[in-house]
Amino acid sequence: MSTNRQIPMASPDISAEEISAVKNVLQTSRLSQGPQVESFELLVADYVGAKHAVAVSSGTAALHLAVIAAGVEDGDLVITTPFSFVASSNVLLYERAVPVFVDVDPFTFNIDPKQVLEAIKDLSSSSNMRNKWLPPKLRNQKLGKAKSILAVDVFGQPAEMDQLKTTARDYDLSLIEDSAEAIGSRYEGRPAGNLGDVGIFAFYPNKQITTGEGGVAVTDNDEWASLFRSLRNQGRDVFDGWLGHSRLGYNYRLNELSAAIGVSQMNRIEKILSKRNQVANLYSHYLAEINGVNPPQISKKTTKMSWFVYVVRLNSGIDRDGVVSKLLERGIPSRPYFPSIHLLPFYREKFGFESGDFPISEEISSQTIALPFYTSMNEQEIATVCEALDQILNY
């Protein structure tokens, strides 16, 4: 089967509505943070049932602000996952905190709540049990306390937030939910992103909905929401004038053009998610016939899956990178997704991590491929990708 257009890796769903929304903003004199940002925030807050939504310039910026609000400082420990996009750990480094990685669940690829509990128990003891969990180069050093758990809803599937919440409560930690990839998903009926003390969404163009670049932090905590509003705007407080700065802040503002796109996307979000669900179902249908490749596994607790990407896992022994190259030879893009964060060169260098430190994450990293996935992907395109995969794996 052949297709008429080159199959992209991802593609935003932009309609006449978004184009006219941007044009309308351009006809005003307000191009940075203004009424469109406010409307976008209200739509997101309402969608996930959060008291506050604060829009910023990227998902990374939102996560950075969440880490600051959680009081994470120099030397503090934050328990998080090595199987994620690098930003979820980098934001800890921005504050000179220490990422305490624990391994992941082989089924959902999300942080393993049992290991989180074990790590926190050991980290709270004064014995050398602590060392087992710390990055090799930081063992036996004087470090701060465990402050937070930073969980990631990997590929759109919510982490085991109930168990993580219990652990966070029992050990007086905050719980940050990186829901960059999961807007619209539900965990036991509840919206992803609003399952911890603070959650974040990201709107890069490969996400379910986009603002070009952009992110949102959601929380029920009034103080944290006010802090986010100040920090994103150069540390200005509500009572400060334009050149008044109550604290060290950032320029993390979202512009009005992006927010206007976000408003249109939020108005269409259910339609977009339902189309993406159809694409995922078609992929699963075609892949069921192909040996050597396993479709994504959805937990029973994921009562609604919002599809960010479609990531398959190859059987062990298959040369994954070879498959990626052979797909590309056939004009089909794909990505090895994700590399485990602890094995990125600067993490190895800074913290002394080595292969074998988090074996489940590493094994998943060596076997997974993100296939082309976008809202407008048609059945012919899906069939083309799956046939190519079948040819490469089985003939």
Site string for ligand PLP, 77-96 (x = CB under 6 A): -------xx-xx--------
Residue number with CB closer to ligand PLP (47 or 338)? 338
Residues written for the chain: 395
The verdict on 178 binding ligand PLP (CB under 6 A) reads: yes
**Inter-residue contact 103 to 150 (CB < 8 Å):** no
N- to C-terminal Cα separation, the chain: 17
- Residue 28: CB atoms within 10 A of its CB come to 11
Burial of 221 (0-12, 13-18, 19+ CB in 10 A): middle
Question: Least distance from C-beta 143 to ligand PLP, angstroms?
Answer: 24
Residue number with CB closer to ligand PLP (36 or 58)? 58
Calpha distance 361→341 (Å, rounded)? 9
- Residue least distant from ligand PLP (Cβ): 59
Residue number with CB closer to ligand PLP (63 or 120)? 63
The verdict on 56 binding ligand PLP (CB under 6 A) reads: no
Question: Least distance from C-beta 370 to ligand PLP, angstroms?
Answer: 11
Site string for ligand PLP, 105-124 (x = CB under 6 A): --------------------
Which residue's structure tokens are 């103080």? Answer: 223
Residue number with CB closer to ligand PLP (58 or 194)? 58
Q: Which of 33, 36, 58, 208 binds ligand PLP (CB under 6 A)?
A: 58
Which stretch in 55-63, 115-123, 168-176, 352-360 sits in contact with ligand PLP by CB under 6 A? 55-63
Question: Least distance from C-beta 159 to ligand PLP, angstroms?
Answer: 11
Site string for ligand PLP, 20-49 (x = CB under 6 A): ------------------------------
How are beta strands 52-56 and 186-187 bridged, if at all?
unpaired
Residue number with CB closer to ligand PLP (59 or 158)? 59
Question: Least distance from C-beta 73 to ligand PLP, angstroms?
Answer: 21
Closest CA to 201 of 73, 43, 338: 43
Structure tokens at 125: 């003891």
Chain residues 188-217 in contact with ligand PLP, contact rule CB under 6 A: 202, 204, 215
Residue number with CB closer to ligand PLP (85 or 286)? 85
Residue number with CB closer to ligand PLP (157 or 384)? 157
The verdict on 181 binding ligand PLP (CB under 6 A) reads: yes
Question: Least distance from C-beta 315 to ligand PLP, angstroms?
Answer: 26
Question: Least distance from C-beta 32 to ligand PLP, angstroms?
Answer: 18
**Inter-residue contact 310 to 296 (CB < 8 Å):** yes
Residue number with CB closer to ligand PLP (152 or 388)? 152
Site string for ligand PLP, 133-162 (x = CB under 6 A): -------------------x----------
Q: Which of 72, 117, 176, 180 binds ligand PLP (CB under 6 A)?
A: 180
Question: Least distance from C-beta 61 to ligand PLP, angstroms?
Answer: 7
Q: Binding residues for ligand PLP, per CB under 6 A?
A: 58-60, 63, 84-85, 87-88, 152, 178, 180-181, 202, 204, 215
